[in-house]
Amino acid sequence: MAGGGAAPGSAPRVPLRALLRAVNALLRQRRHRAALAVLKGFRNGAVYGAKIRAPHALVMTFLFRSGSLREKLKSIAQATYTHSRNLAYFVFTYKGLMALQSWLQGKKIPFHSFFAACIGGWLVFGENNPINSQIVMYLLSRILFGLSRLAVEKGYVPQPKQDPFPLLAALVWGTVLWLFEYHRQTLQPSLQASMTYLYDDSDVWHDISDFLIYNKRPASE
């Protein structure tokens, strides 16, 4: 048809450029900023969760998990999805509650952050499963470091005269190996698997193949 007009009876097309302009105009409106920040937080949580879980799950699955290739890929996909989903839900909940509290009280105060994160942690990470357990333990170690530094900054604990990190490293490694050797059931499963590979499997070999090339003899042998 000459002139390039829309066919009779068809809905008029919205040019892509005009649609993008409308979306960008909406994104720049300050009155929608809090709600849009919640949505972008959901997006960033999903992306970040997938980015950090997929490589970890890939390595741990192929190093320590038995089963067919399909089962391994399914396990990797499931772990990545769970981590991505949970982090997205948490960020969405946290930022949503932060915005709601600020709107109700007219300002932002420190307790808002603690309360919103507590609610999000309970709702999203409250189920005791391997993914949530790893995330909570990861955060716990960093919280302890952070609180230690805060205690020194606030003057509750005197500034150490020497770097305490060597002592901390010695106590951490001494404790974890003692637990592994005598109470390993108390350790998280992925840590047990890693330490079994390092400390138990290195005690077993039959010839050069499973001494240097493989950790264990291939099943066919």
DSSP string, 1-16: -GGGPPPTTSPPPPPH
Contact between 27 and 42 (Cβ < 8 Å): no
Per the model's pLDDT, the better-predicted residue between 211 and 219 turns out to be 211
pLDDT tens by residue, 53-73: 999 999 988 888 888 999 999
Q: Which two tokens stand for residue 23?
A: 């979306």
Indicate if the pLDDT at residue 157 is higher than 50. Answer: yes
Contact between 198 and 186 (Cβ < 8 Å): no
101 backbone dihedrals φ, ψ, rounded to 5°? -65, -40
pTM here is 0.78
What pLDDT score does 52 carry? 94
What pLDDT score does 48 carry? 96
* Mean predicted lDDT score pLDDT of the chain: 90
What pLDDT score does 81 carry? 96
pLDDT tens by residue, 86-144: 999 999 999 999 999 999 998 999 999 999 999 999 999 999 998 999 999 999 999 99
